[in-house]
Amino acid sequence: MFKFSLHPGKTNIDFLRYRIAALVFTALLTVATIGLVVGKGLNFGIDFTGGVLVEVETSGPADLGAMRDALGDGSFGDVSLQNFGADNAVLIRLGQDAGEGDAQGRMVEALRQTLSEKVDPNIQIQRAEFVGPKVGQELIEGAVIAFVVAIAAMMIYVWFRFEWQFGVGAVAALFHDVIMTIGMYAVTGYEFNLTSVAAVLTIIGYSLNDTVVIFDRVRENLRKYRDMTILELLNRALNDTLSRTIMTGFTTLIALFALYFVAGSALAGFTFAMIAGVFIGTYSTIFIAVPILVYLNLQKRQRGRVGTDGNGDGEAEAEVKA
């Protein structure tokens, strides 16, 4: 009987054969991505730019063109519209400060009245949100602090659990993950908001989890195998954990693709970043975090309870050749 399996079985892929090319490619791509983000910029959401976000519901399928024409006379500032879930639900973002108190209510009422007269007399306002420019600036600062604190905390965790070389490798991979994920927002034009910040932080956690699993196998191999070169040892660790990496990534992608195609545009930016993050995080673990260990003089002497075959009970010194 035919059996379908994603488990690759025992593999012996020489990942580190391509370490120099991978690190050079990664460095160039990272610099290019930073340039893209700085040059093109991100499509910041109302959380960061400030303004008014209004969700409306029409009596039939929404005519975004007619709505855009009705609101495009300049009285509402910069206007952007997009479908939100159902074909009669529309998110309207106004890049104009509505002021406070009654001024906010008057702007929403003016928007409803304009759309009622020019597009659909039965249009209804479902919700309205207001964010001032000062709040948006504070949220940007908070997002940056969240990224820095998350990466620093994870570096400290890896450093204490393993050795400082592992911490450096992990942080290099996480820095790559953050830059690449933000770059995806710049390329695709998806709105970057607080949900996007949550997506990036989630990707950091996913990537670190995969990295720690492989680092744990590297540390175990350092104590088990005496005659392996450091390249052979790291390759063995990557191959030993490859099936786990594939299965974890595949099952995560199943859930994310379902969310992307079913949840609608409201979560499209979040799920797209998460889908890209699975691939980005897996790549950074294999081709950044682990190869960096080769160049950081990873401790070659470990003392542990190993026997003559690497699994015995005697106390011995395991030496890994450089």
- pLDDT in the model for residue 310: 40
* Structural domain contains residue 142: yes
> In this model, does residue 153 exceed pLDDT 50?
yes
For the segment 211-216, the average pLDDT, to the nearest whole number, is 89
Domain final residue, candidates 101, 131, 161:
131
Which pLDDT belongs to residue 18? 87
Mean pLDDT value of segment 193-221: 87
Residue-level pLDDT at 127:
81
The answer to whether residue 322 sits within a structural domain is: no
Percent of the chain with pLDDT strictly greater than 90: 13
- Which range, of 54-58, 169-173, 181-185, 283-287, averages the lowest pLDDT? 54-58
The pLDDT value given to residue 7: 59
Record the tokens describing residue 293, joined without a space. 């260990």
Please check whether residues 181 and 219 belong to one and the same domain. yes
What pLDDT is stored for residue 4 in this prediction?
A: 52
List the one residue out of 86, 97, 90, 96 whose CA is nearest residue 126.
90
Domain with 227, as residue range(s), is: 16-42+136-304
Question: Is 309 contained in some domain?
Answer: no
Angstrom CA distances, 318 to 215, 242, 263, stand at 17, 25, 53
Among residues 173, 225, 235, 320, which one has the least CA distance to residue 16? Answer: 235
Same domain, 106 and 178: no
What is the model's pLDDT at position 288?
92
- Same-domain pairing of 217 and 239: yes
* Residues 86 and 114 placed together within one structural domain of the fold: yes
Would residue 297 count as lying in a domain?
yes
DSSP, collapsed to helix, strand or coil, labels residue 191 as strand
Q: Residues 241-255: what's their mean pLDDT?
A: 89
Same domain, 290 and 231: yes
Count of domains for the chain: 2
- Asked if the structure places residue 268 within a domain, the reply is yes
Is residue 73 located within the same domain as residue 221?
no
In tens, the pLDDT along 304-317 reads: 433 334 444 333 33
pLDDT in tens, 270-307: 888 899 999 999 999 999 989 998 888 775 544 343 33
**CA-CA distance, 227 to 231, in Å (whole number)?**
12
Q: Per the domain annotation, does 201 fall within a domain?
A: yes
- Both 218 and 72 in one domain: the answer is no
- Whether residue 313 is contained in a domain is answered as no
Q: What is the mean pLDDT of residues 195-206?
A: 87
Residues 6+ apart with CB under 8 A from 186: 33, 36, 37, 40, 41, 42
Does any domain span residue 320? no
Summary mean pLDDT of the chain: 79
For residue 121, the domain's CATH number is 3.30.70
Are residue 120 and residue 199 in the same domain, yes or no?
A: no
Indicate the residue type of 166.
F
**Structure tokens belonging to residue 249:** 């990534």
**Which of the listed residues 67, 99, 131 is the one where a domain comes to its end?**
131
Based on the fold, state whether residues 146 and 195 are members of the same structural domain: yes
Amino acid (one-letter) located at 9: G
Higher pLDDT, 102 or 306: 102
CATH number of residue 208's parent domain: 1.20.1640.10
Q: Are residues 228 and 87 in the same domain?
A: no
- 167 and 20 housed in the same domain: yes
User: Which residue stretches of 119-241 are H helix?
Assistant: 133-161, 164-188, 194-224, 230-240
Is residue 300 located within the same domain as residue 187? yes
- pLDDT tens for residues 107-147? 788 888 888 888 888 888 888 777 666 666 777 788 788 88
Q: In the prediction, which pLDDT does 98 show?
A: 52
Percent of the residues in the chain that have a pLDDT greater than 70, as a whole number: 81
Residue 253 binned pLDDT confidence (cut-offs 50, 70, 90): very high
Statement: residue 322 has pLDDT above 50: no
Residue 159 pLDDT grade (very low, low, confident, very high; cuts 50, 70, 90) = confident
